[in-house]
Amino acid sequence: EYTNIYGARIGFAPFELSISQFSHTRNQNGTIGDGGLFLGEALVGDLAVDSTFDIDATKMMLGFDMMNTSVARVGLLVGLDVFNFNQFRFTAQEANGTGILAGDYQNVLVDQEVPVPIIGIRGDMAIPGTDIRLGAEISGVSIDVDDVNASFFDHDINVNMEIFENGEAVIGYRVVQLNIDGIIDTTEINMDMSMSGPYFGVSFYF
């Protein structure tokens, strides 16, 4: 699997606008069970498949500082996260003797968007006598959008250390949870997905 994150923010206190992009691609083996559907036909016996899951999430947030000092900042966030399912596909690994051939594939979602409004809070604090800042951002929502019930939570805790003028090394831990129950483009989806783990990078500020 492969994940990348990048973004930018600009503002004049007490307001701030931020835009970030989260991309995740995963390829793995799996099984569609006996009685499941593949290419519209009910399966007899299990079918071994390769699955491809490729999703982007573009988050646009407007922040308002409730506190802004040289030591710490705390702000409220409101905005929109647009999930784009680039590709969600199952590919048969081998023929199963009932007309399905190796390489046959079934698309679940391709180029489908789900916009989700979100709210959150963010803050950071400088450790006196060091070049280190501790930060956190928590955002999410649970909402009904058209025929879809969606919940999304994004938790990010990070440590930032200045390594040169206007540049910081960033080490953090992020947890993303996405639950979707409903119909997207005539496809019924019941998804419970959670991704978490450490990340590292560099940030530039001016």
CA end-to-end span of the chain: 33
How far is it, in rounded angstroms, from Cα 143 to Cα 116?
Answer: 8
According to the model, what pLDDT value does residue 7 have?
87
Q: Is 143 a residue whose pLDDT tops 70?
A: yes
pLDDT per position as a tens digit, 102-128: 999 998 888 988 788 899 999 999 999
Neighbours of 128 (CB within 10 A): 7
According to the model, what pLDDT value does residue 17 have?
93
pLDDT per position as a tens digit, 66-90: 998 889 999 999 999 888 989 999 9
Q: Is 40 a residue whose pLDDT tops 70?
A: yes
Q: Is 136 a residue whose pLDDT tops 80?
A: yes
> What DSSP character marks residue 71?
S
According to the model, what pLDDT value does residue 54 have?
93
According to the model, what pLDDT value does residue 185 have?
67
pLDDT per position as a tens digit, 178-193: 888 888 767 777 888 8
Omega before 198 cis (within 30°)?
no
According to the model, what pLDDT value does residue 86 have?
93
**φ, ψ dihedrals at 66, nearest 5°:** -90, -25
